[in-house]
Structure 1
């Protein structure tokens, strides 16, 4: 069947923050511009729902619980099936494991086409029994999924090897961004640094991340006193919120480095913070790709990141960034000190990263490739 009219696509996602949420909103905006009628089925905040409506999406609030609950999941599948039928959806695009489980069954019942994007690796704290259950479910559900998208080659490899999904059904589409133009003045940089008490003489090492174990922020805090042994004119800034906030603040106090660490919390003005940073760090223990790395590179920050997951597809060690062993605070400290001692090398890496960014990780590419998959599936 060849689709010539405007297709109706439902984009389904659980409550999400950080890169996954930004990916979802940016993709929807791009698909609408490309001529697709998008129904956003999500449990985002009122502000985020209004943002989606503003770009032209129809928004239907829908709660997806984080944990598997057989009774609740059955009710959610039935409710979602009714929504898909009522809105005459042509294709459902599920984002993440929970949306993938509920959404693909509902799509089958509603007789819709279905595609599925894997954004992250399996949670680090998932036990062997749960991993087996998830792997079994993913393998079964892949049989009713037309196409599966992963945001990195590393995720594709895991989906094929660990979850048993046919690799020919999986396509890699990298996350993409469109950064704002960096300001010609130092005004935004100055505003952020003055707000948080960072002097002109101090270097500012920053990270942008949700405060969860997989982001490895504990490793960053452990590296702070190691850096300060050799370089005292420095502050570290953590931009983001999450369940580990209290734990991380307490960790900083125990290591007696809390006065040099700024917990800035969540901010909508994230690009201002990148302008304020001298060095960007993302010491993840697990990472699908790392949108914040792309953002930092786009703003000209020298990057230090973990040698894990999809990060190695963005950062090439000693070429456009510096890679460390996950969880190794000594290596992280040494990397920061290397950049501080070699500012010309840090700038060289940052310049190379910025040049490569537009070729591979631009939002237009992400939208175009996703649009092509939607068209392929609808016309199959």
Structure 2
């Protein structure tokens, strides 16, 4: 069982027959997210009314939050109402916070710290405009899409390729390139209609293709196929 679309070819290169490899994408519990979202929309905002570029994840080097701050520094002076919102904790926390101070961004880069409550995370996502993943990621893209956010990321471990479609619900930037990342973020900041359209498409992908019900059904189908083959062998 694998969650990458390339896994059949990958395992085949090791001599595993493709019929023995099942691809099932990963998902958070989107039913809970959608239920919480309805309640969140009735709550008072947690943040002042601004445009927030959001990152959620553990603050470790391979998440490349330093690259995101560097990219933000290239254009932040142009937009008085734009802030970078960083949610998470980890060994890079102090370094990244000092980096924002050294760049003169302490009033525009907001460090929330670790948030484990899914309802509160949902509030931050609801109040944000763009979700950016500058390095390796996880299920945070799924969650951000469930809250209708456009996604900006690089090509990383492969999970992003079945979630993010170029110019449909997000943009890919060249890995490690802060100038290209800054350019992609600005594209969405200055184009409200494009940003809104991409956010709506993110939500559509989650509702129709990449949700907990589809994933569960695919696991069920795979197990049934495997079980059928096993019983045939023993018969």
Structure 2 length-normalised TM: 0.83
Distance 1:159 1:211 in 2: 32
2:184 is aligned, of 310, 331, 335, to 335
1:281 is aligned, of 124, 132, 136, to 132
For structure 2, list consecutive stretches of 5 or more residues without a partner in the other structure: 231-235
Q: 1:245-256 residue pairs with structure 2 within 5 A?
A: 245-256=93-104
- Give the superposition deviation at 1:160: 4.9
Aligned to 1:183: 38
Aligned to 1:260: 108
For structure 1, list consecutive stretches of 5 or more residues without a partner in the other structure: 1-148, 194-198
Higher strand proportion: 1
1:153 to 2:1 alignment = no
Aligned to 1:42: none
Aligned to 2:160: 311
- Give the superposition deviation at 1:220: 0.7
Distance 1:154 1:305 in 2: 19
Aligned to 2:233: none
C-alpha contact (below 8 Å) 2:40/2:123 kept by paired residues: no
Q: Which one is further off, 367-376 or 334-343?
A: 367-376
Structure 1 length-normalised TM: 0.53
Q: Which has the higher contact order (CA 8 A, sep 6+)?
A: 2
- Cα pair distance change 1:223/1:188, threshold 3 Å: farther
C-alpha contact (below 8 Å) 1:224/1:257 kept by paired residues: no
SS of 1:345's equivalent in the other structure is helix
C-alpha contact (below 8 Å) 1:204/1:237 kept by paired residues: yes
CA RMSD in angstroms comes to 2.3
Q: Larger radius of gyration, structure 1 or 2?
A: 1
C-alpha contact (below 8 Å) 2:52/2:84 kept by paired residues: yes
Give the aligned length.
220
SS of 1:207's equivalent in the other structure is strand
Residues 199-239 of structure 1 deviation map (CA, whole Å, 9 limit, x = unaligned): 32x21111111222222212111112112132232111111
Residues 245-264 of structure 1 deviation map (CA, whole Å, 9 limit, x = unaligned): 22222322332323211111
SS of 2:165's equivalent in the other structure is coil
